[in-house]
């Protein structure tokens, strides 16, 4: 139990060290809450806690270090979309604890003078502890910044 607590602390501790924080929901695989903390103009740390829904439900927690390419794409020439990518870790509490490396890639749209964002993310996961294999997280979500 101490090991699990320590790993969770390591995954989410960067969120406490930065400037602006967003909190919201993420739908997909897994379904849950999402947090993001900006470290600078184009870097951020995110974290998620969610539950997979299906035949075998399980809890999942992840955190990633992200690089943003601001306003890289536009939707209708009015709505800038930021491309982001990064690396992080994931713990999945299934039959046993599975630990893997995530490689998220996504698009985010900042709305209302950057008080909120909408995002879509695809994150391949390579599990290497307790199970070796490949997984894919697909998320659609929104966060409010305070």
pLDDT confidence bin for 119, thresholds 50/70/90:
very high
Give the end-to-end CA distance of the chain in Å, rounded to a whole number. 32
Q: What is the pLDDT of residue 61?
A: 97
Comparison of pLDDT for 3 and 26, the residue scoring more: 26
Query: What average pLDDT does the segment 135-142 reach?
Result: 96
- The CATH class that applies to domain 2-145 reads mainly beta
Angle ∠(25,27,30) on CA atoms, nearest 5: 105
pLDDT confidence bin for 15, thresholds 50/70/90:
very low
Domain boundaries, the chain: 2-145
Query: What average pLDDT does the segment 99-122 reach?
Result: 93
Residue pair 119/106 in contact (Cβ under 8 Å)? The answer is yes
Percent of the chain whose pLDDT exceeds 70: 86
Tokens 């306003």 belong to residue: 71
Residue 6: count of CB within 10 angstroms of its CB: 10
- Is the bond into 132 cis (omega within 30 degrees of 0)? no
pTM reported for the whole predicted model = 0.83
Q: What is the pLDDT of residue 12?
A: 52
Query: What average pLDDT does the segment 115-119 reach?
Result: 95
């Amino acid at each position: 139990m101490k090991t699990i607590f320590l790993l969770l602390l390591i995954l989410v501790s960067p969120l406490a060290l930065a400037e602006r924080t967003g909190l919201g929901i993420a739908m997909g695989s897994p379904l849950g809450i999402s947090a993001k903390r900006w470290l600078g103009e184009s870097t951020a740390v995110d974290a998620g806690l969610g539950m997979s829904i299906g035949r075998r439900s399980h809890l999942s927690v992840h955190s990633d270090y992200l690089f943003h390419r601001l306003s890289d794409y536009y939707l209708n020439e009015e709505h800038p979309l930021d491309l982001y990518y990064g690396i992080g870790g994931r713990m999945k509490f299934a039959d046993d604890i599975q630990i893997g490396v995530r490689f998220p890639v996504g698009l985010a749209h900042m709305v209302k003078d950057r008080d909120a964002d909408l995002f879509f993310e695809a994150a391949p996961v390579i599990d290497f502890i307790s199970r070796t294999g490949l997984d894919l997280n697909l998320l659609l979500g929104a966060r409010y910044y305070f």
